[in-house]
Amino acid sequence: MRRTALCDWPTTDFIGYSATDQDNEYQSSAALPNEPLQLRQMILVDGHPFYYANSTNCSGWVDGNDVALCSSKQEWLDAWQVGLKDKDFVVVTESMVQTQASATAPSISKVELQLGTILKLVPDDQIPTTVGGRATWHNYVVYLPTRNDDGSYVRRMALVPERASLSEGFLPLTQRNVLDVALSCQGDRYGWGGCQDAMDCTLYAAAIYRCFGFNLPRNTTGQPKVPGVRVELAGLSDPDKQALIETFPAGTLPYFSGHVVVYLGSVDGVGYVISDVGNLYPAGDDDAGMSSVYDVAITPLTMRRGGTATSGETTSRRWLTHLNEAVVLAQPVNPSQAEVSVKLSPATATYNGKAQAPKVSVSSEAGMTLSPTGYRIANNGGTNAGTYDVTVQFDSASVSGVVTKRFTIAKASQTGATLGTSGTTVTGCSSRTGKLTTTKKLTLKASGVKGKAPVTWKKASGSSYLTVGKTGTLYVKKGIKKGSYKIKVTASLAATKNYKAKTVSRTFTIRVR
């Protein structure tokens, strides 16, 4: 009905190791409002009822006044059961929200709904004019579990403001969404087993991923076994661990014995995580300075855990050293929905006669490189000038589908083309008149042309007695007098499959003798 503790013993007392202990040592876990429980046994302790309950991932004694009893299995299922693709429910995606206050309906007034709470929506055609004495405008109208005086379950309507961070249906599993949900709890207090209406590290991780439709085991021995991509870290050196961690998508869950963190990203070779943490040491090698943090905090993996150092080495307390595995949870999304960026380097190359392919990099929106083990590259580049589709096939736990990018090989320039002729001196002038007696031909040449480009010749300027044919023949016409004459010739080199078009010019001096 409302958030309740699951304890090792049927008591509401706070039991700690000392008068200042912040943890209720007998509390095992906590159940959220509308979370299903299977009640196995009831006892009275000084007249107070307690039930031994099985939740989806833990068992323990719960306060009988915090639960409501369904009259049938079907009523029990209808209260909480939803489908992954359904949109007929909301899930709380921030640290905590409250239902709207009501002076006339205390059972639905200011009820705290913690991160991951799931409530069914009232169908539009069944929403009344007012709920709790007020109009339903600007609110989600939800079914809230409450109890009658005899402890029986009754479903009542309640209002949750639309400004609250709720999702209709489960959130799409993207790195951005995971980080938004995780960071919404920053600064919340730590509570072992969920005591003081708080969370410990595994309850925090479970609440985050509950927003995406996952139901994680209670502790750090069970959580890494959920479906997903499991990465073994035990036995690696710290530098090798950090290098591997930098390939993880944001939201990955790294584990060491007794603690789980949520990976955020790496900066300058240092990994950063967010977690609900109790005691820790600051970075460094000094045993002194352990702090009772009791906070959802962002920390580097250079932090050190509280407890006994291994083999007397203070550096062995480092979180990075103790990490033994990590899990990327498996609920693939299309890369167009996820915060992934595919880049080609370079995106454009120039034809050089050799096969060319771009370097493909895949990163998150935050700029973190993703592991190449999560995708395959196909049709990557070619030899001839043209446009090529580079396909990136994702097949990882967090991203699936295909992204296509264009790689272009541009045509090369005709850089080495030069013009020449078979000769520049023409003879055959009359000794009496000093004029050329017959038309003479000279052959023009274009050297260094790439790709066998066709060449078209043209006269740009010069003596009227000098002309050029399209195929490269230079004509010195009959009747020209002895002397030197200039002609400027252009050769147009046509574009080919791999080379650009180009125009080359040269001025020739023709001597007539």
Neighbours of 420 (CB within 10 A): 12
**Per-residue pLDDT tens for 477-490?**
999 999 999 999 99
Mean pLDDT in residue range 448-468: 93
Each as own residue / partner, the long-range contacts of residues 125-133 (CB below 8 Å, 24 or more positions apart, any chain) are 127/157, 128/157, 131/157, 131/158, 131/159, 132/100, 132/102, 132/104, 132/105, 132/108, 132/157, 132/158, 132/159, 133/102, 133/103, 133/104, 133/105
Does residue 372 surpass a pLDDT of 70? no
Q: What does the pLDDT read at residue 348?
A: 95
Return the higher-pLDDT residue of 94 and 381.
94
**Per-residue pLDDT tens for 388-437?**
998 888 765 456 678 889 999 999 999 888 999 999 999 999 999 999 99
Task: Tell me the residue type at 410.
Answer: A
Residue with tokens 């009820």: 111
Q: 100 CB contacts (<8 Å, ≥6 apart)?
A: 109, 110, 132, 134, 139, 158, 159, 160, 161
Mean pLDDT in residue range 190-211: 95
Determine the Cα–Cα distance for residues 149 and 65; give it in Å rounded to an integer.
10
- Residue 309: pLDDT band (50, 70, 90) is very low
Determine the Cα–Cα distance for residues 504 and 445; give it in Å rounded to an integer.
12
Percent helix, strand, coil in the chain (nearest 5)?
A: 15, 45, 45
CA 442 to chain centre: 69
Return the higher-pLDDT residue of 17 and 375.
17
**Per-residue pLDDT tens for 257-268?**
889 999 999 999
Look up residue 108 and give its two tokens: 């639905």
> Can you point out the beta strands (E) in 10-74?
27-31, 38-45, 48-54, 59-63
Q: What is the CA radius of gyration of the chain?
A: 39
Mean pLDDT in residue range 69-77: 94
Q: What is the dihedral of CA 8, 13, 18, 23, to 10 degrees?
A: 60
Burial category of 355 from C-beta neighbours within 10 Å (exposed 0-12, middle 13-18, buried 19 and up): exposed
Beta bridge partners of 281: 304
Look up residue 187 and give its two tokens: 């600064």
Helices 175-183 and 201-210: crossing angle in degrees, nearest 10, is 130
CA-to-CA separations, 251 to 166, 204, 231, 245, 332, in angstroms, rounded: 19, 13, 14, 12, 14
Please report the DSSP string for 267-293 in residue order: ETTEEEEEEEEEEEEPSSS-S---EEE
Does residue 60 surpass a pLDDT of 50? yes
Does residue 66 surpass a pLDDT of 90? yes
Average pLDDT across the chain, whole number: 89
Residue with tokens 């296509």: 404
The proportion of the chain whose per-residue pLDDT surpasses 70, expressed as a percent, equals: 90
Element (H, E) at 80: helix 73-80
DSSP reduced 3-state for 224: helix
Mean pLDDT in residue range 507-511: 96
Return the higher-pLDDT residue of 292 and 317.
292
- Residue 354: pLDDT band (50, 70, 90) is very high
Q: What does the pLDDT read at residue 316?
A: 44
Residue 17 falls in which region: left (phi positive, over 0), alpha (psi -120 to 50) or beta: alpha
Look up residue 13 and give its two tokens: 């007392």
The proportion of the chain whose per-residue pLDDT surpasses 90, expressed as a percent, equals: 72
Q: What does the pLDDT read at residue 173?
A: 86
Q: 106 CB contacts (<8 Å, ≥6 apart)?
A: none
Q: What does the pLDDT read at residue 379?
A: 74
- Residue 504: pLDDT band (50, 70, 90) is very high
Determine the Cα–Cα distance for residues 311 and 313; give it in Å rounded to an integer.
6
**Per-residue pLDDT tens for 111-162?**
999 999 999 999 999 999 999 999 999 999 999 999 999 999 999 999 999 9
Q: What does the pLDDT read at residue 85?
A: 77
Q: What does the pLDDT read at residue 185?
A: 97
- Residue 172: pLDDT band (50, 70, 90) is confident
- Residue 45: pLDDT band (50, 70, 90) is very high
CA angle 312, 313, 318 (to 5 degrees): 130
CA-to-CA separations, 330 to 191, 399, 402, in angstroms, rounded: 28, 9, 17
Look up residue 296 and give its two tokens: 């959802």
Determine the Cα–Cα distance for residues 2 and 145; give it in Å rounded to an integer.
8
Look up residue 246 and give its two tokens: 């930098």
According to DSSP, residue 482 is labeled S
Q: What does the pLDDT read at residue 266?
A: 93
Determine the Cα–Cα distance for residues 91 and 167; give it in Å rounded to an integer.
5
Q: What does the pLDDT read at residue 377?
A: 85
Does residue 365 surpass a pLDDT of 70? no
Q: What does the pLDDT read at residue 304?
A: 80
Residue with tokens 């139901």: 215
Q: What does the pLDDT read at residue 339?
A: 60
Determine the Cα–Cα distance for residues 228 and 195; give it in Å rounded to an integer.
30
Does residue 234 surpass a pLDDT of 80? yes
- Residue 311: pLDDT band (50, 70, 90) is very low
Stretch among 290-299, 362-371, 405-414, 457-466 having the lowest mean pLDDT: 362-371
